[in-house]
Amino acid sequence: MRGITLDFSWQVPLLVSSLLALLGGLLVGWLGSGPHLPATASAHTLRSGLRALTRPKFRAVAVGYFGHCWELYAFWMLTPLLVLQPLTALNLPLSAVPWLAFFIIAIGSLGCIGGGLLTKQLPGLTVARLALFSSGSICLLYPLMTQLPAWILFALLLFWGLTVIADSPQFSALAAHFAPKENVGSALAIMNAIGFSLTLPAIWLTSNLWSIHNEWVTWLLLPGPIIGLWAMRKLSA
Closest CA to 177 of 164, 165, 191: 191
Closest CA to 175 of 77, 69, 40: 69
pLDDT of 237: 62
The CATH classification number of 49-231 equals 1.20.1250.20
pLDDT of 20: 95
Q: Are 168 and 174 in contact (CB under 8 A)?
A: no
| Average pLDDT over all residues of the chain | 91
Cα 213 versus chain centre, distance: 23
Q: Where are the domains of the chain?
A: 49-231
Closest CA to 67 of 236, 233, 211, 230: 230
pLDDT of 181: 83
Amino acid letter, 29: G
Q: Are 178 and 55 in contact (CB under 8 A)?
A: yes
Q: CB neighbours (10 Å) of residue 199?
A: 19
Q: How far apart are CA 67 and CA 224, in angstroms?
A: 4
Residue 165 to residues 52, 69, 169: CA-CA distances in angstroms?
24, 9, 8
Q: What angle do CA 20, 22, 26 make, to 5 degrees?
A: 115
Helices of type H across the chain: 11-31, 46-51, 56-82, 84-89, 97-106, 108-118, 124-141, 150-163, 168-178, 184-213, 223-231
- Using the predicted structure, report yes or no on whether residue 43 has a pLDDT greater than 70: no
The tens digit of pLDDT for each residue in 78-111 reads 999 999 989 988 888 888 999 999 999 999 999 9
Quick one: what percent of the chain has pLDDT higher than 90?
76
pLDDT of 33: 78
